[in-house]
Amino acid sequence: MEFQKLLSYTRQAVDDYRMIENGDHIAVGISGGKDSLALLCALSHLRRFYPRKFELQAITVDLGYDGFDLSSVEAMCKELDVPCHIVSTKIASILKRKVPEGSSPCSLCAKMRKGALNDNALALGCNKVAYAHHMDDVIETALMSLIYEGRFYAFPPVTKLEHTGLTVIRPLLYVSEAEIKGFQKKHVLPVTKNPCPVDGKTRREYIKNLIGQINRDNPGVKKRLFHAVMHGNIDGWQAIQRRHP
């Protein structure tokens, strides 16, 4: 995917849901994966010409797994002129102690990781946190909700965290995972290997593969699922203005 296309989709989402206001200080959660690095690229370039002026702060939560080298992430942040803050935690060892063998650590891990990210965002003076959720993440969440919870739901583009005062924004909503993969390959983003021992073995991974198979059998299913979320009267999905179909 060309840089201009990534930037265009990002701006459309930001405009449609009024994600950014003048004076915002936005923490970008950087995992070291392709999605968060693409988000960092998009927002760092958007700030150069966007009419509402904002600042960026990259934050990476180090879970404490061995071999998690973040030097390439730090170098990329320096190149983009975005301050980088690495949060050292013992989340990996806590999961090992608290999660029974054979059980999924994902829920507890996500809760602690987000807690560390939000706490540090506040400490660094940020009022918003940008997550790198893309179009595929949205439709996977919707299908997971249908299958496992019996309801039609997907996380909204903008979420106000009442207990912290932070606002979560998701500027990559209009970008597919395939497009991000193409962008990463074309621009050689310095992706850091995920050290999580259950990476690729989760319930979400099962749903991702299921949607992929359905889409191969019925081309266009992914876009129709995303359209259903956008127009399905889910709380938080009512756009302020919408240019995207």
Beta strands across the sheet bearing 128-130: 84-88, 54-62, 24-29, 128-130, 167-169, 158-160
Q: Is the pLDDT of residue 203 over 90?
A: no
Q: Is 173 left (phi over 0), alpha (psi -120 to 50) or beta?
A: alpha
| Residue 27 pLDDT grade (very low, low, confident, very high; cuts 50, 70, 90) | very high
Has this prediction a pTM greater than 0.75?
Answer: yes
**pLDDT of amino acid 195:** 73
- pLDDT tens digits, one per residue of 217-245: 999 999 999 999 999 889 889 876 666 55
Q: 204 is written with which tokens? A: 């979400």
Render pLDDT for 81-126 as a digit per residue (tens, 0 to 9): 999 999 989 888 888 888 887 677 888 888 999 999 999 999 999 9
Residues 6+ apart with CB under 8 A from 236: 155, 156, 157, 158, 159
Q: CB neighbours (10 Å) of residue 62?
A: 17
Output the CA angle 97-102-108, nearest 5 degrees.
50
CATH number belonging to domain 3-230 = 3.40.50.620
Q: List pLDDT tens digits, range 54-72.
A: 999 999 998 888 878 889 9
pLDDT for res 240? 67
